[in-house]
């Protein structure tokens, strides 16, 4: 079976799209504030009743959707938001419904010290070329991906204080062209 021509772009929400660690006193330029109550957040706050769970403050830049769609990638969610990203994030930034990775060990400990997403993300990519955008990547994850993923892959750390920036979009274009 031949490889699809476009690599995967696996997108985390909190950090890359929602610069949650930006200074609290002001919204980052170009971003809009949303108060969201995704099901995953309600579940994490159990047994608090849904009507008492405090919504998440999420900053999203509506320009990111068109910029991501213009890249030569097949987009997919790689986030704790999982299916909630299609309901709460995608429409606010102009993305269509995207496939998502169903993580089964949210926030679990890895015996090798990897990020809890790493193994399932690589398994989901199933040998395809990919770029993973996340704010919680570290050297062990990058080394493990290089040793265990049969195709080209790039783990791109995004500062959660600033989110995706022009330099990231340029790096994504360059990587796709170089592969």
Give the three-state DSSP class for 112.
Answer: coil
The answer to whether residue 151 is domain-embedded is yes
pLDDT attached to residue 108: 77
Q: What is the dihedral of CA 10, 12, 17, 18, to 10 degrees?
A: 180
- How many angstroms separate the CA atoms of 157 and 171, rounded? 12
Instruction: Determine if the pTM surpasses 0.85.
Output: yes
Domain that holds residue 147: 8-21+61-178
| Domain annotation covers residue 3 | no
Mean pLDDT for all residues in the chain? 93
76 lies in some domain: yes
85: domain CATH number is 3.40.50
For residue 31, tell me if it sits in a domain: no
Give tens-digit pLDDT for 17-76.
Answer: 999 999 877 788 899 999 999 988 898 899 999 999 999 999 999 999 999 999 999 999
Q: How many domains does the chain have?
A: 1
The yes-or-no verdict on residue 89 having pLDDT over 50 is: yes
């Amino acid at each position: 079976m031949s490889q699809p021509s476009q690599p995967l772009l696996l997108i985390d929400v909190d950090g890359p799209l929602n610069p949650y660690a930006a200074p609290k006193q002001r919204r980052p330029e170009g971003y809009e504030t949303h108060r969201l109550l995704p099901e995953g957040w309600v579940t994490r706050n159990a047994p608090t009743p849904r009507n008492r769970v405090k919504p998440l403050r999420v900053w999203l830049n509506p320009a990111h959707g068109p910029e991501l769609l213009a890249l030569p990638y097949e987009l997919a969610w790689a986030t704790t938001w999982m299916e909630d990203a299609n309901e709460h994030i995608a429409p606010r930034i102009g993305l269509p419904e995207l496939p998502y990775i169903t993580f089964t060990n949210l926030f679990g400990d890895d015996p090798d010290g990897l990020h809890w997403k790493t193994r399932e993300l690589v398994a989901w990519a199933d040998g395809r070329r990919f770029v993973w955008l996340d704010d919680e990547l570290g050297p062990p994850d990058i080394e493990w991906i290089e040793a265990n993923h049969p195709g080209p892959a790039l783990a791109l750390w995004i500062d959660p204080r600033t989110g995706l920036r022009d330099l990231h979009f340029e790096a994504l274009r360059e990587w796709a062209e170089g592969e």
